Amino acid sequence: MQVSFGDQVVIVTGAGGGLGSAFAQEIAQRGGAVVVNDLGGSVTGEGETTSRGYADAVVEAIHGAGGRAVANYDSVATPEGARRVFEAAMDNFGRVDAVIANAGNMRFGDFEELSYDDLNSLLAVHVGGSWNIAQAAWPEMKRRGYGRVVFATSSGGTLGNAHLTAYGAAKGGVMGLMHCLAEAGEPHGILCNAFMPNAISRMTSDIKPGELGDNPWAATLGQHFAPAYTTGLVTYLASDACKTHHGIYSALGGRIGRAFVGIANGFTTDAPIDAETVAANWDLIRDDAHGYEIPKNNTDEWRIVAQQRGLAV
Ligand SMILES: NC(=O)c1ccc[n+]([C@@H]2O[C@H](COP(=O)([O-])OP(=O)(O)OC[C@H]3O[C@@H](n4cnc5c(N)ncnc54)[C@H](O)[C@@H]3O)[C@@H](O)[C@H]2O)c1
pLDDT tens per residue, range 101-118:
999 999 999 999 999 999
Based on the domain organization, do 174 and 283 belong to the same domain? no
pLDDT of 217 reads: 83
In a domain, 245, yes or no: yes
Percent of the chain with pLDDT over 70: 99
Based on the domain organization, do 291 and 152 belong to the same domain? no
Based on the domain organization, do 123 and 191 belong to the same domain? yes
pLDDT-based confidence at residue 222 (cuts at 50, 70, 90): confident
Based on the domain organization, do 303 and 185 belong to the same domain? no
Model-wide pTM > 0.95: yes
Annotated active-site residue in 54, 146, 167, 236: 167
Q: Among positive and negative, which fits the CA dihedral 167, 212, 226, 196?
A: negative
pLDDT of 23 reads: 98
Based on the domain organization, do 147 and 295 belong to the same domain? no
Label each residue of 142-185 as H, E or C: HHHCCEEEEEECCHHHHCCCCCCHHHHHHHHHHHHHHHHHHHHH
Q: How far apart are CA 43 and CA 33, in angstroms?
A: 27
pLDDT-based confidence at residue 295 (cuts at 50, 70, 90): very high
At residue 175's C-alpha, the angle toward residues 171 and 178, to 5°, is 135
Q: Report the domain count for the chain.
A: 2
Selection from 122, 168, 140, 133 nearest residue 38 by Cα: 133
CA 301 / ligand 1 centre spacing (Å)? 34
To the query of whether residue 236 is one of the catalytic residues in this protein, the response is: no
CA 31 / ligand 1 centre spacing (Å)? 24
Ligand 1: residues whose CB is within 6 Å?
13-14, 16-20, 37-41, 43, 45, 54, 75-77, 102-105, 125, 129, 152, 154, 197-199, 201-204
Based on the domain organization, do 293 and 185 belong to the same domain? no
* Closest residue CA from atom 19 of ligand 1: 203
CA 202 / ligand 1 centre spacing (Å)? 8
Q: Which domain covers residue 282, as residue numbers?
A: 263-308
Selection from 82, 162, 86 nearest residue 127 by Cα: 82
Q: How far apart are CA 96 and CA 88, in angstroms?
A: 10
Structure-model confidence comparison of residues 117 and 312, the more confident one: 117
pLDDT of 103 reads: 97
94 conformational bin, left if phi > 0, alpha if psi -120 to 50, beta if neither? left
Structure-model confidence comparison of residues 252 and 224, the more confident one: 252
pLDDT of 48 reads: 59
Based on the domain organization, do 285 and 224 belong to the same domain? no
